[in-house]
Amino acid sequence: MIEGSSQRRLTFHGGLFGAVLPALLFLAGVTTLALQGTPDERGFWPVLIAALGLSLLLARDRTQWSEAVVRSMSQEIVALMILAWLLSGVLSELLRASGLIQALVTAGSFLGLQGGGFVGLAFLICCLVSTATGTSFGTILVCGPLLYPAGGSLSADPHWLAGAILGGATFGDSISPISDTTIASAGTQGADIGGVVRSRLGYVLPPALLAFVACLLLGRGGEIGIQSSAMGSLRALPMLGAPAFTLWLLLRKKHLLEGLLSGIMVSLVISLGLGLLTPSDLLFLDHENFVARGLILKGLERGVGVSVFTLLLMGLVGTLTATGLQQSLVDVARRKARTPRATEVWIVVAVSIAVLLTTHSVVAMLAVGAFAREAGERFGLSAYRRANLLDVTVCTYPFLLPYFLPTILMASATASGEGFGMARLSPMDVGLFNVYSWGLLAMIGFAVGSGYLRGPVEEVPSR
C-alpha cells in the first residue's frame, strides 16, 4: 500500500493544479504515443521522465518530493511486480523455444479450433484460470505468451485475441473469492466474501456473455488454414506441465514468485529431459562480441521494459499520493452524498478518480472504503451493494486505459507472437478490444442510474 497519510503532505507551486499537471502531461504523452501505435512500453519511459522532472520543478520541498518518489518505488508490491515481469519472461521464452506454441497449433488444428472459436476458447480459459487463481496479472503472465502466438496459425484476429485474454484475466479479478479486489471490497464494507461473490454474479455475467459472443463472431482473422511453417510436432506438449504446475501452486495459494520460479525449473527439467533444448541454448558465451547470450538472458530482457515503466510510474503516483489528494476527494464526496442515488454516484466517482490517480485498485478502494460504508449505511445501501459498486468500478479502467499495468503487460505479452504472424500491439489496442471491461463500465452506469440490483436494505453478516 502506498504510504502518505502518515507523512507530512507534499505541496506544489500552483496548489492542486500544480500537483496534477505532471500526471496530465504523462497521460497526454502516453495517449498520443498509443494513438500513433507505439507498441513498446520503452517508448513511455521519456514521457515519465518528463513528468517526473516537471513534478520536481513544481514541488515546494524537493527533498520531501524525492523521498515520496523513492518511498513509492520501494513498496513490496512494486518489487513483486518487477520480479514477476522478469521471471515470466524467462518462462515464456523457454516454452516458446521448446516448440510448445507449434504443438498447440497442431493440436488446435486437429480439434478444429480456428478463428472466432479459438478466440472464444481463449477467453473462457482465461476466465477459468483467473477465477481459480484470483490474479489477473498471473493469468496474463502465464496464458498470454501461450495463447496469443498460437492464434497466428489458427486464423485468430490479433486485436480480438489479445482483448479476449485481457478480458478473461479481468473476469477473475472481478469475481474470484480469492482476488485481492474482492477481499478488499468485502472487507472495507463489513460483508462476507461468499455473499459478495453471489451478489456480484448479476453484474459480471452479462458483460462476460457479451464478450464471449463478440469473440465468437468477430474473432476471425485472415484465411483459415494452418501454415506449414507453424505446424509442429506434438512432442513438445508435455511442456504444458510447466505452466500447469505454476497454476496448481497458485491454486494452493502459494506466492506468485514461488509459482513462476517453480514453473521455470519444471520447464528446464522437461525440455532438457526430452531433448527439446540443450544446456548451450540456455546460456553460452559469445566470444566474438564478449557477451553472454542464451534463452535465460533473452527472457529476462523481455521483462526490462515493463519493469522500468513500473518503477517510474509508481514514483509519479507517489507524488500525487503524498499530497493527500485522495482524502480531499473523499471529503468532497462525503459532503455531496445526500440521497441514496447520489451516494452511489459519489461512491463510483470517488473510487474512479482514486484508481485513475493511483493506478492501484486496492489502494483506491481502501481510500474510499470508509466513506462508502459510512454514507451507504446512512442511506440504507446494503454492504453487498457498496462492495459491488467499488469492485466492479475498479475492474474497468485498469484493463482499458493504456497507462495501467494490466494493459501494458498484455501489450508486452503480444511480443511473443511476432514470430508466428501475430502483430505486436500497443496498450491502447488491447484495452480497446477488452469487451468484458467495457461491458462492466456500462453495467455500473446502468446499475446506478436504474437501481438495478440495488435491492432492499439487508442485514449482512460481518466478515
Assess whether pLDDT exceeds 80 at residue 359. Answer: no
The CA distance from 382 to 412, in Å, is 40
Mean pLDDT of 259-270: 90
pTM: 0.77
From 397, 402, 371, 398, select the one nearest 386 (Cα to Cα). 371
Q: What integer is the mean pLDDT of 275-280? A: 88
Secondary structure (DSSP) of 92-157: HHHHHHTTHHHHHHHHHHHHT--THHHHHHHHHHHHHHHHHH--HHHHHHHHHHHHHHHGGGTTB-
The lowest-confidence range among 136-150, 214-228, 310-324, 419-433 is: 214-228
Displacement of CA 147 from its chain's centroid (Å): 16
Question: What are the cell numbers at 425?
Answer: 500491439
Q: Quick one: how many helices (H) and strands (E) in the chain?
A: 22, 2
68 Cβ contact partners less than 8 Å away, ≥ 6 residues apart = 4, 7, 10, 318, 319, 321, 322
Q: Mind listing the pLDDT tens digit for each residue in 160-175? A: 999 999 999 999 889 8
Reduced to 3 states (helix: H, G, I; strand: E, B; else coil), residue 233 is: coil
Helix (H) or strand (E) holding 285: strand 284-286
Neighbouring residues of 408: CB distance < 8 A, sequence distance ≥ 6: 41, 44, 306, 309, 402, 427
pLDDT of residue 95: 80
**What is residue 348's predicted lDDT score, i.e. its pLDDT?**
92
Whether the predicted pLDDT of 228 surpasses 70:
no
> Closest Cα to residue 91, out of 274, 364, 282?
282
Average pLDDT over residues 316-332: 79
Per the CB < 8 A criterion, the answer to whether 55 and 316 are in contact is yes
Instruction: Give the helix, strand, coil percentages of the chain, each rounded to 5.
Output: 75, 0, 25
pLDDT at position 166: 96
> Which of helix, strand or coil describes residue 12?
strand
Mean pLDDT along residues 34-38:
68
Residue 277 in grid coordinates: 533444448
**Which pLDDT does position 341 carry in this prediction?**
86
Per-residue confidence band for 293, with pLDDT thresholds at 50, 70 and 90: confident
- Cα(416)–Cα(149) distance, integer angstroms: 6
In sequence order, the 6+-apart residues with CB closer than 8 A to the CB of 428 are: 31, 34, 35, 402, 407
DSSP H or E run through 293: strand 291-293
pLDDT of residue 225: 46
Instruction: Please tell me the predicted confidence (pLDDT) of residue 462.
Output: 46
Flag the least confident range among 150-159, 254-263, 333-342: 333-342
DSSP 160-223: HHHHHHHHHHHHHHHH-TTSHHHHHHHHHHT--HHHHHHHHHHHHHHHHHHHHHHHHHH-B-S-
Cβ-contact 365, 390 below 8 angstroms: yes
- For the chain, what is the mean pLDDT? 83
Which of 12-26, 283-297, 306-320 has the highest average model confidence (pLDDT)? Answer: 12-26
Would the pLDDT of 215 be above 90? yes
Residue 279 pLDDT exceeds 70: yes
Task: Read off the pLDDT of residues 50-63 as tens digits, 9 standing for 90 and up.
Answer: 999 999 999 999 99
